């Protein structure tokens, strides 16, 4: 083996090693954001019946919609449905799992905990965006301000 052959093998090996670890990192892609006016919900209306007991509903708003989850009688959490992994993908939409115990994006396979929206399985590394909420009497208000810095 000549010195040139040896050096060629070394260079080729280094190039292959450097490219083998190159996988697109989509964990830090910023979540899209859209301004929306405050959303006020009268919890006594029939369409919000699922929020009177421990439950959740889907509403329009945000980037891909909002999940409103009743954590307690006085605390409601509003989650952006836009998945935090590859948020610009056409199918990056989160739903509540049929068990009602966690949220899932069936596109990438990421699962998110209630109430903190932290990913537990799948490729997602960042939590879902949580919008600020306030409760006054029977009126729940959702604002387009992030409650968790996302």
Domain ranges of the chain: 24-146
Looking at residue 21, its pLDDT comes to 44
- Mean pLDDT over 9-16 rounds to 55
Structural contact between residues 43 and 140, judged by C-beta atoms closer than 8 angstroms = yes
Q: What are all long-range contacts of 10-18, with beta carbons under 8 Å and residues at least 24 apart?
A: none
Which pLDDT tens digit goes with each residue over 31-80?
A: 898 899 999 999 999 999 999 888 999 999 999 999 999 999 999 999 99
Looking at residue 72, its pLDDT comes to 94
Looking at residue 18, its pLDDT comes to 47
Which pLDDT tens digit goes with each residue over 83-137?
A: 999 999 999 999 999 999 999 999 999 999 999 999 999 999 999 999 999 999 9
Q: 84: buried, middle or exposed (CB in 10 Å: 19+, 13-18, 0-12)?
A: buried
CA–CA dist 69, 37 (Å, integer) = 20
The CATH fold assigned to 24-146 is: Rieske Iron-sulfur Protein (2.102.10)
- Rounded to 5°, the CA angle 66-68-72 comes to 160
Using the predicted structure, report yes or no on whether residue 146 has a pLDDT greater than 50.
yes
Nearest of 93, 63, 59, 92 to residue 76 by alpha carbon: 59
Q: Which residue has the tokens 């083998």?
A: 20
CA–CA dist 108, 92 (Å, integer) = 7
Percent helix, strand, coil in the chain, to 5, is 15, 35, 50
> Which region, left, alpha or beta, applies to residue 109 given φ > 0 means left and ψ of -120 to 50 means alpha?
left
């Amino acid at each position: 083996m000549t010195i040139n052959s040896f050096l060629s093998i070394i260079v080729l090996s280094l190039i292959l090693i450097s490219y083998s670890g190159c996988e697109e990192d989509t964990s830090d892609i910023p979540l899209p954001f859209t301004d929306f006016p405050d959303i006020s919900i009268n919890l006594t209306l029939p369409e919000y019946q699922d929020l009177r007991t421990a439950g959740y509903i889907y509403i329009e708003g945000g980037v891909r919609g909002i999940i409103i989850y009743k954590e307690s009688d006085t605390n409601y959490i509003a989650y952006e449905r836009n998945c935090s992994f590859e948020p610009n993908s056409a199918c990056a939409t989160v739903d509540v799992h049929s068990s009602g115990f966690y949220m899932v994006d069936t596109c990438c396979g990421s699962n998110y905990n209630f109430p903190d929206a932290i990913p537990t399985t799948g490729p997602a590394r960042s939590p879902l965006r949580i919008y600020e909420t306030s409760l006054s009497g029977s009126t729940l208000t959702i604002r387009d301000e992030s409650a968790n810095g996302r």
